Structure formats: C-alpha cells, structure tokens
A and B are shown apart, each in its own frame.
Chain A
C-alpha cells in the first residue's frame, strides 16, 4: 500500500471541489449554485452529503474522490456510542490560525479494578457531575479510563460492569494483557471503548480484539517513533482502521521527548501528508503520579495540571487524568475551550444598549466592552444586584477591558460615540456613567468628549452589587 501525499489543507480550493460536483445548480442543497456549495464545503461549513444528487449511483465515483480529497490530515475517530460518544482527532491543520481545530480534547478520568465499588461509583459520579459554566457554555469531563492494576481478568470485568452501570460516558480500557482487555470488552458489549494499548509484544492479540469487538485501538510505543509508525502500518494491514497514537507522556525526565514526539507526529501528518501518523494522539498527564514518591499529593496534582496544559497546546487529541480537583481541571478545561474556538470569529457579543429589569429615567447607566466573557460576567453581576439598570456595550473588537484600554481598543472617543448611538440621553434624566475600574484612566477624556459625568466603578464586576447599593441607592 503506497502512501499518498494528500493535498495540503491550504492548497484545496473551491474549484477542486466544484469540478467533482454535479454542476447542475439544482439548488437542492439550499445554495444558489454548485460553486457556492463548493466554497462552503472547502470551509467545512457543510458536508458533501448535503448535496443530494452526489449521493446517487451516478456520482458514486465523484463522491468517493471528494471524500478522499476532503479527508482531514488526522483521522476522526469515534469512541463510545450514543449521545455521549466522543469524536477525537479530525484535525485539518497543525496551527490554529490556519483554520480551526475540531474536536476539543476530551478528558478521561481514571478508576482502577482494585478500587472499592464505592470508590468507583464515587469517582464516576464526580466525573459525570463536574461542570463549569463559562461564556454561556457548560464545560464537562468526557470519559472514564478503567485501569487494571490487578491484572486479573475477573476483577477487571467486575470493575467495567460497575462503571457502565453508573455511566454512559465512553470508556478507555487500560491493560497490556489481552486477556484482561477481552474480559473488559465482554463486560461492555457494543459500547465501543478505546482499547489501551497495543505494544510491540501484544499487538496481534490486541488487533484481534479490536476487530472482533469493533473498537478503536491505541498504539503505545514510548519514545520510539519508528516502532510507532511500524506498529501503525502493521495494524492497518491487519485490518484495524481506527488507531490512536501514544508516543509516551514523560512527566519529568523525557519531557523534551514527549514534546518533540507529539510535534513530529502532528507535523508529519499535517505538513508532510504522512498517513501512518495521521491519527489522533493520546496524552497521559496521569504519568505524573509515577513520580509521586514522598511528595505531597498537591505537588503531583500540580505537575499533572501543567502537563495537561502543555499537551492541550501541543496537539493532544485525548487526555487521561487522575486528579478530580477543581483547581487542576478548571484551567485545563478553559484552556481547551480557548484553543478550540474558531479563530475566525471573535468571542464577542453585539455592541449596543442593554437593559436589566425595568430601568427608568433615574436608573444607573454602566459601560463595558463587548468581549463575550466580560459581558456575561458583568451581566450576571448586574442581575445579582437586582438594581434596574442600563448597560452600554462598547465595541472593543472582542477584547477585555484592561487589554482594550492598553491596546487602545477602548478609548474615550469610542465611549462617547457609544453613548450617543445608544440614545440613552432620551432615556435618563441624569448624565452620569459608571465605567469599569480598569478603564479609570479614560475618565477625564470621556467627560470632555461626552459631557457626561464619569463615576469610576469597581475593578472587578463582582463589586457591582455593593457598588450600586452604596453609590446609587442613596
């Protein structure tokens, strides 16, 4: 099987896609013509399956060619079934700015087959319930990794059973012993867990299991890219199509290898069209727990936390972690959300006037930026205050207050203009505007340009309720 160098993502143009479409401009897809459809396809905004004629027998060949042409550099792999199934990989590009990263890195939390039933249930429950609301999105954990610390197939089976009784989250079954894995697979029929892992010793048995149970399979070749690539080749030849690559996560000594290996794999796939490395990469920050020795648990958790962060930035498509502490997981879940946002769209809300409650002509007027996070935080704090208010959202191109002031995206001119455009002058009798504490430096200029009196508000919007009660209530 010769390895073909795929056309790089950047090189694909709408014309390439258009040439293979029916070119009838039938509009069945909802667009005016096939060229418009092609442009959307290249942008990954729609799927070629949205072109009904393309799905007919007549265009079978073109459909296949298009599928091949549009295939991501990193294969997309599904783990689990049903609503909570996760997709990993599916990356088109190496660098975020080249397009957008798809499939935010799922985080799996581990349990072991030697934990008590109570402990397993408790960890699974904590994993399921862990959530944080951030810019109107609920951030969640995604999977359970079951480790066989006992190496006993019966114990492993019991642990897997216990887990699936308590959750529908997708599973990763972890053991290097094929007998243990098989016993786990039998306990989780048709749930399509990820098998961890095939090695240079056990790959044949693991491949058989992956085929028999139709599961994706991890390939583990710590710090040996030639072996990793050879195993991938071998497993593909064997018929296992859905692979996940683990070049090893070295928590301390060897960290450089880990960063090098992750980078090499992703570069080979995205920039050099290497199909053998065109699979998702799994990172295991949990390896931090190997070094625990006499360290306090917090030190190990700390290491696990920053390892996870490094791997989210450096191309990990899936992570296995142990710590369930909020301070370990929260920064990483937010980092993942950040890195996986579409860089073409600023995380911003519409600028303009907002009202809270039923403000009247004496109600306070506040001002903030249109960075989504700033806006939602300020909005929830104003709501918490229970004071009927106006809020003018100034267009800072989606930048937060302090950065916007430093970067001249929030200026007195912009504020004065926003006041005018909001027509707030017809809505209130007073001429007092409360500005964020972090924009204090603009006070004088705003007063000059707008003619409004500036009241400097709190530096953090959590101070808004108290501020309104003290300064406005009177």
Chain B
C-alpha cells in the first residue's frame, strides 16, 4: 500500500539530495498496487451519485423523491428540503465565515451543475439509475452566461492589484514605438485523470475520509468545522493523488454532502464525481482578458506598460487570478499602470489551475513582447535581453537569483535560435510553414512552515513522516533523499510515509512550495535526530563510543570517529547497545518563517502565514525560457509541434530526474492550453458544453514533440533551506505565448485568443 519497502536502483548521482534516483513510489504505481482514495476497500460501503442543477440561476422549488426512493437498492435521497445544515467553515485564507450555517444542498441555484441532490444506494449502478428518477421543479431566474455578454458589464475593480509606477500614459504617448493588443484565455480546467471523490466513514464522532488531497491539514480543518468536531477527530487519508494541478487542495461541496450522507446513514459512503460533473463541481482557471500597451524607444528599451485585465468569477464567490503577476516583474520598465477587474457571472467559482496569475499574465506579456519585437524590427530574444532587469522593478529588491540570461543562452544555443529567419512565413519544409517562437516565464518562491518526523530505527534504517502529499511531484522520493543525505544512507534504507492527516503537519502542496519547505523540515528533523544519536553515542554509558571520541560523524549508516579513534559503528549496533529501539525528532520550521508555536494550527490549516516572494531581503522567483518549433499546414490551418527546448532556473534541483519530468509536464499542459483547451459556453444556458474528455481536448501522445529541458539553476540559499526554488508550475508559464509567437512566425497571423485552432488559421 505504501511505498515503504521499495528498493530503487541507485541513481547516477547518488541517493542524496541532487541525485537522480527513480521514484520510490514507482514500484507500487507500475504494479497497480498504489491505493488511491477511491481504491480503498471499506467494509459496508454504500454508493452515492450527485444530482446537479440544469439551470443557471433561480430556485429549486421542490424535488419529487418518490420514484427515486422506490427504486431498487436506494438507501437515502438528500435534497435541499431534507438535509440539515452544517456549520460554516472559515476560509482557506483563514477568514471567519460570513454566516453561521453551511448548506451543501441549497435551493438557490447560481450555476449549471450546482449540486442539488444526492442519491445513495447499495450499488453504484442502482444509485446512478435512481439519480435519473428525481423530478426537480425549478423557478428559473435571469443569469449572466459569461463575461462577454453585455449585461455582465465591466465588473468590479480589484484595488489590491492596482499598480501605478511612474506615469505610464505620458510615457506611452512619447514612446517611439507602441503596440496595443488584447489577449484572451478561456475557462480552462484542471482535469486530473483521477476524478474528484471520496469515501467518508463515521465511527461515533470521528470522521475518516479517503479523499485525494493536496492539503490534508487544510481539508481536515474544513471538515472538522463543517461537522462541529475537533480537528483531531478528522482523519484524512490520501497516500496517492491521481493529479490535482491546484484542484484538490480544498474541501468541496461534494465532500460535505457525502460525509453528511454517511453520518445520516450510519454507513460509509463513496461518492465519485462523473467526468462531466468535474467541470462544474469546482472551478478551473477563470476566463481572462488583458489589454496591453507597450511603449519603447527606438533601440527597444521598454518605457511603459499599460495593462488592464478582466477575469470571471462567480456570483457567490471571489476568485482572483492576478493578471499582472508576470507583467510587473519580467522587464525593466520605468512606467507601469496596471488595473484589474473581476466580473461575476453564473459559473462555479473559478479556482487554482497550475500557475494561477503568472500563466495568463505571461501569455499576454510574452505575446506583446513578440509583437513589440516585430514592431521594432528586432529579434525577440534580443529585445528581452535588452530589458533584463537587474533587480525586481516592482519591489525594488535584489533578486535572490535570476539566471534568466543563462536560460536564454542555454535554450537559444540548444535550439539553434541564431539560425532563425525572422520574416514570418520564410522558413518552410515542403508545403509546411515552420514557426520558431520563444517566450519567458516565471513563478514566485512561496514559503510556509512545514513539519516532519524523522525516526532512526533499530535496524539502522530511517523513517520520515509528514502529512504532506505526493501528487506526482516526487515528494516521497526527494524527502527520502533528504534524509539519506543527512545519514549517508542508501535510499533503500529510508521509508517515507505521507498523506495522512494524523502525521506531522504540512501546509498546502500548491504554489510550488512543497519541495522547498518540506525538504527543509525533513532536513531539520533529520539533523536533530542525528545530533541526538551522536549525543547518545558520546554520552550513553552503554555506548561503545563513549569516551572514545569527542565528536562523531554519521555516514553510510554508521557512526564514524573523525580521527579513526574507533572503528565505524553501525547505527543499529549502537541502538542495540544502548537499549533503544529508535531515536526520533519532530521538528517544524515555524521559527524560520517568523512564526510562533501558537501560530501552529493556523500555519498548517490556512494559507494566512504563507510568505510572499518579496517577504525578506530579496525578491525570489524561478525563471524559464521556452523555444518552440512548429509546422503549420498553410492551406488547412493545422498546427503540429516539432520540438521544444526549455531552459530554466529553479535553483538546486533536489532530484533532477523528477524535476525535469515536472517541467515537461507543465510544458505539455501548456501545449494543451495553447492549441486545444477551453470551455465552450452555450450562452443561452450558461452551460459548458464540452464537459468531457472527447470534447474538452487534452493533448494526446501524438500532440507532443520531443522536449528538451535544461537546468541552469544554482542553489539559491535565500529561497529555501536546501537551495531549491519552485518547479511544479514554472514549466507552463509562457509556453502558450511561445507557441502563439511561433504561429505568428510561421503564418504572419497573430492569434491572441486561446486556444489557437483550425478555425483561426485556415
């Protein structure tokens, strides 16, 4: 079940931090033995199916449950009319709820797909059929289908995102060269292949949840508050997560109603969203629009950027996708004006999808830089180098590290950028026009506190435990490597247990922060355990090393006297000698993050103590440069990628093999964003029509070209304990712009609304 007993091959750079060992959870995954939440065998399970609204706004006047309740095997039918309220929970940012009650089934409808009933039956087949038998009486109300409909208006200003640096309007007016363009991104969905779902079981007042989770502590807190029980009474178990990309960090309404049903029934209940329901039960990336004006002098020095952004949110929730996240950061610009507005419409509240903010921000900015390069008659890469900022132009702080020039150089060199003919349409391969495009990306270093237990066992092996989770990031492996480094052990001697809310605390695995902060926590705990071990070896009366040496080192599972005063002593022998079965240390990194012990609960169960990238002396970010070659069939408009080279600076890579995989994964998702993905809204009904995997197009194998990724990072001691910066989100940032720029280079057509399809290019 857990990857504890796996012996991976030794990596080519060793098993410690910076080595390339294969995933230690890999064997369980390739054997089909890794038990994801929905794979857990639970005795006495009942199966639930969610019923969702088919109107966009209005009220459920009533639901006739008669036929459903009479259907074979049906155990319970929950509707707004027969479901007791829960307690309202505080938000993930730590704010108190505005109301005292939370109703997971509400009569008021605010979007298509909102959950309105739950049917529980003995079998999944029975629940599925019975769910079709409910008769819902609606009272429909007017709605706003999306932010393009005239009635949606301009929305509300978001003052915290306003930036006024210098005088952008005046600077633009006097600029030699100006470009102005509007860029759009559609609703994009996370679409992990594992659908959201859970099994909930009550034992008295204790609630056990098997649910995929990017944030066990945060979700456990939310469930505890909903049900008015203690945090310790909730146990959330999520050893493996079938992808999340931001969508599995929060407790969601379907979780509330499933747990509610389990409590009412006195039986464990399993609810898995259908694939179509995954498009409306939680939000993906908000649709966005950005108006960008860039002004430069004739040499290509940026003088001013004027940026206006609009994004969707829901009628009953505010999600902010910060559209100037990259705009304010990437280039040396004396004058910047940025405003953002948020437009409420009848949709599910949007949420985090890989690189919220940076992703759409970089799409617009990096396309605009390409447009400016053409307006100037300059090479797009040269234009970027000309405007490379020496320090963070927004905060004024020095970069902790910004190896952007190195990334440009390494990427351009490997790609062969110097051979590019800049004239659109000039590079050809038979009937195909080739496009070479590039763009840059960035993602901030976010920091929270972490906590880990490291335990030295009597057999000399080491255990690491934390409630953090591994959704494919490689957490199991890099945390094992961290401990292996401290003890000089082969990876096979390190066991890692994650994904259980009863383990030591961890904050959200989001914002690309997990690896940096959890390796720090494990390193700290491991060093503490090592110190205690050495102390015992030096001081315990039964220790063979007592009085032999003044200091000891630990390597290869042994205690070593530095001047050879005694033969190396295996840890196991020491523990036997001193009569201990373990030496363990539980450590957190609250203090390093400026927190106190009383901040502990808040630090791990909300994001209220997460530190900004400029909190401290430096401005800290990861960086990347993408280079893309594609071919466009001029007559038919089809775009096929040929190769991608991405050079990136994410500081030290704890395990380059796994980090490279994640960067490539971000690139693949960026390919989908650029060419395939987007929610298609029928505005007559405010309904996303392509709510399935045949119509919402994810990239397939055939869409993906060879991808080369090059790390140019060096350890950044300011960014994290071991010198790494964020990896998980970086690869997607700027990729869509590189593709759009390559499409322009191939065709001379500037497509500013994603995705770029046949209809745009034929």
Q: Do these two chains interact?
A: no
**Interface residues in chain B, defined as those with a beta carbon under 8 Å from any beta carbon in chain A:** none
